[in-house]
Amino acid sequence: MTVTQTSPPIAIDEFRGEVLLPASPGYDTARRIWNGAIDRHPTCIARCTGVADVVAAVRFARENDLEIAVRGGGHNVAGTALCDHGVVIDLSEMRAVSVDPARRTAWVQGGALWGDVDHETQAHGLATTGGIIGHTGVAGLTLGGGIGFLMRKYGLAVDNLLAVEVVTAEGSVVRASADEHPDLFWALRGGGGNFGVVTAFRFSLHPVGPLVMAGPVFWAADDTTDVLRFYRDFAADAPDELGSVVRLGTVPPLPDIPEDLHWRPAIAVACCYAGAIEDGKRAVRDLRRFGTPLVDLLAPSRYAAFQGGMDDTVLHGWHYYWKATNLAGLSDAAIAVIADHAYAARSARSYAAMFHMGGAVARVPYDATAYAGRDVAHNIIIDAVWLPDESGTHGATEPAWARRFLQALEPHRAGVYVNFLDADDRSGRVREAYGDRIYRRLAEVKAAYDPENAFHHNTNIRPVSS
């Protein structure tokens, strides 16, 4: 296809999708991603319709020595889905999900969102571990590991990966699985977008729902220390079926929550029990009885609806800045730091979220995949959020809050989840995310599949030099 709005025209041989140039209608919309603070101007955005388009776009970029960025769901907080002056290989039109209910597997295209996967798999009463926000991309989330409510029962997203179809830096299409290109398959399960453009993922699925015992319980922020001390023991004793995430910030203005509570500082524990409703009720009973909740929304819920329940609390176009760390445990000292800092942000939209790890995640051997954080108990993300027109008041204060919070957690840190790294972490903290051994092995696979580091708009692994 040739597009001629600018001079010189850009012609991508064998490309059937849309090629958006700066003068094309829709270019400015297409270069927007989830984090509204990211403002980049690619030379062109190649909207792929299928594998052949991805091959054409990769070859075009390589032959013309252009930068390459790959866009899946566009949620990476650092904006790695976009580059300036290069080609964005945009998979946002490739969102098909094809379920094989008899085999309990699904093929998912590289631009799909988790809401697409939950929607299609739940039609068969099935699900796999995915993110906790429906508009997050499957690709970036899975390639970094993939944590979510089902992980303690069914493992990380990468633990459910059976095969991956990839377009390599040379523009070849390869299938990676335990039997085909096993080195590449290992690296793709945690090593991020370093090894090629993934056009499709094959996941294993499990019976989940459609009704599950799920939802958040909120307490006033003043109760944070007590709630976290209780939660530490509650989570440690929880069955694998029970996934939980603690959210510290304000009560979001969701339709199910009484209006007089909206924006009030609060701690919430959101749970999802991947099993029978009655067992789920028993598993969360003590949590619901603890202290004096402001509101308790734990109830039998449709799994897919629960997964999308918080989507409106982190909308596209707002400005975001993240800091994150894994926590070895929740000591009283760590809890004190969290209680001191969690509510010190100025923006009512800023919050911290803490994922309970363990269970099936911890039972996979350390070097079975490239995901390195299997032995940690909790993983906390500090999410500074402000509206675009609040940049004058919050654009500096919110990131400063996140950095202070992380700094205070220093004695309790135990690595970091690669998908939670922001732009200013990418030079120093990539090795922290992987550790030396896994990083070294990733660098060797990188040298085999992308020796010139064509795919570097990501949490980059540098190829080992031969």
Ligand X SMILES: Cc1cc2nc3c(=O)[nH]c(=O)nc-3n(C[C@H](O)[C@H](O)[C@H](O)COP(=O)(O)OP(=O)(O)OC[C@H]3O[C@@H](n4cnc5c(N)ncnc54)[C@H](O)[C@@H]3O)c2cc1C
Within 193-222, which residues bind ligand X (CB under 6 A)?
193, 197-198
**Near ligand X in 174-193, by CB under 6 A:** 192-193
Which residues, numbered 275-314, are part of the site for ligand X (CB under 6 A)?
A: 314
Instruction: Kindly identify the residues of this chain, within the stretch 362-391, that bind ligand X according to CB under 6 A.
Output: none
- Rounded to a whole number of angstroms, the minimum distance from the CB of residue 294 to ligand X is 24
18, 38, 76, 402: which one binds ligand X (CB under 6 A): 76
Nearer to ligand X, 293 or 399 (CB): 399
Residue (220 or 387) nearer to ligand X, CB: 387
* Shortest CB 370 distance to ligand X, Å: 14
Q: How far apart are the C-alpha atoms of 68 and 82, rounded to whole Å? A: 8
Closest CB to ligand X belongs to which residue? Answer: 140
Q: Which is nearer to ligand X, 267 or 421 (CB)?
A: 421
Which residue carries 């906390």 as its tokens?
Answer: 380
| Residues contacting residue 186 through CB under 8 Å, at least 6 positions apart | 368, 369, 370, 441, 445
- The DSSP bridge partners found for residue 321 are 384
- Which residue number, 135 or 223, has a Cβ lying nearer to ligand X? 135
Query: Should residue 134 be labelled a site residue for ligand X when binding is judged by CB under 6 A?
Result: no
* 87 contacts ligand X (rule: CB under 6 A): no
By C-beta, is 339 or 382 nearer to ligand X? Answer: 382
Rule CB under 6 A: is residue 171 a binding residue for ligand X?
Answer: no
Q: Please state, in angstroms and rounded to a whole number, the distance separating the CA atoms of residues 299 and 38.
A: 38
Nearer to ligand X, 73 or 275 (CB): 73
Q: Which CB atom, from 112 or from 294, has the smaller least distance to ligand X? A: 112
Residue 71 interacts with ligand X (CB under 6 A): yes or no:
yes
Q: Contact with ligand X (CB under 6 A): which of 17, 42, 86, 110?
A: 110
HEC states along the chain?
CEECCCCCCEECCCCCCEEECCCCCCHHHHCCCCCCCCCCCCCEEEECCCHHHHHHHHHHHHHCCCEEEEECCCCCCCCCCCCCCEEEEECCCCCCEEEECCCCEEEEECCCEHHHHHHHHHCCCEECCCCCCCCCEHHHHHHHCCCCCCHHHHCCCHHHEEEEEEECCCCCEEEEECCCCHHHHHHHCCCHHHCCEEEEEEEECEECCCEEEEEEEEEEHHHHHHHHHHHHHHHHCCCCCEEEEEEEEECCCCCCCCHHHCCCEEEEEEEEECCCHHHHHHHHHHHHHCCCCCEECCEEEEHHHHHCCCHHHCCCCCEEEEEEEEECCCCHHHHHHHHHHCCCCCCCCCEEEEEECCCHHHHCCCCCCCCCCCCCCEEEEEEEEECHHHHHHHCCHHHHHHHHHHHHCHHHECCCCHHHCCHHHCCCCHHHHHHHHHHHHHHHHHHHHCCCCCCCCCCCCCCCCC
Tell me whether residue 105 or residue 168 sits nearer to ligand X (CB atom). 168
- Binding range to ligand X, per CB under 6 A, among 134-142, 172-180, 257-265, 363-371: 134-142
Of residues 33 and 409, the one with the C-beta less far from ligand X: 33
Give the interface segment with ligand X, choosing from 138-146, 289-297, 406-414, 421-429 (CB under 6 A).
138-146
Q: How far is the CB of 7 from ligand X (least distance, A)?
A: 29
Q: How far is the CB of 454 from ligand X (least distance, A)?
A: 12
Q: Is 324 in the site for ligand X (CB under 6 A)?
A: no
Q: Does 247 help bind ligand X (rule: CB under 6 A)?
A: no
Residue of 141, 235, 284, 357 interacting with ligand X (CB under 6 A): 141
Interacting stretch for ligand X, rule CB under 6 A, among 57-65, 72-80, 262-270, 272-280? 72-80
Kindly tell me which of 77 and 298 has the beta carbon lying closer to ligand X.
77
> Site residues (CB under 6 A) for ligand X?
34, 69-77, 80-81, 91, 110, 131-133, 136-137, 139-141, 143-144, 146-148, 192-193, 197-198, 314, 419, 457-458
